[in-house]
């Protein structure tokens, strides 16, 4: 006890650093996954890449191989079964232009039983910055 009182600053710094480590590790998962992890999930874990942008945005630009399931279609009781994997254990990697809608979609899908639904941090913008393939379906 005497040690703790005499070295209160060491105890305080240990508690603060531990708290910061815990906060950053929890925040990292809540904020989605980086593009490299998204690619790994799709390539090695048989994850499904889903763009939750509206059809016009999706047609303008989207990650190569992504399926378009607009966020508005996820809020109802009937999920678009053909576009989402039947196996709810597979990773569902969600993206939109910035990642904000994808984050909301991840929460919705997790409540629907897709435990491995994650958003890509930074969305399509980060995808492009990482020089990953983007395509357009606009004529």
- Catalytic residue set: 96
With b for 16 or more beta-carbon neighbours within 10 A and e for fewer, the 9-27 pattern comes to eeeeeeeeeeeeeeeeeee
Q: 35 is written with which tokens? A: 């593009």
Residue 63 near residue 124, CB atoms below 8 Å = yes
Nearest residue to 95 (alpha-carbon basis) of 137, 27, 41: 41
Residue 100 near residue 124, CB atoms below 8 Å = no
- Cα–Cα distance between 22 and 94 in angstroms, integer? 25
Region of 67 (left: φ > 0; alpha: ψ -120 to 50; beta: rest) is: beta
């Amino acid at each position: 006890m005497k040690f703790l009182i005499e070295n209160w600053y060491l105890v305080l710094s240990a508690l603060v650093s531990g708290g910061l480590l815990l906060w950053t590790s929890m925040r990292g998962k809540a904020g989605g996954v980086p593009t490299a992890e998204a690619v790994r999930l799709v390539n090695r874990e048989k994850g499904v890449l889903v763009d939750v942008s509206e059809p016009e945005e999706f047609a303008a630009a989207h990650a190569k191989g992504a399926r378009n399931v607009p966020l508005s279609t996820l809020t109802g009781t009937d999920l678009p079964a053909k576009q989402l994997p039947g196996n709810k254990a597979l990773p569902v990697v969600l993206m939109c232009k910035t990642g904000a809608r994808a984050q909301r979609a991840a929460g919705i899908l997790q409540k629907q039983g897709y435990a491995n639904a994650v958003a890509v941090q930074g969305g399509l913008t980060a995808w492009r910055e990482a020089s990953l393939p983007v395509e357009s379906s606009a004529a």
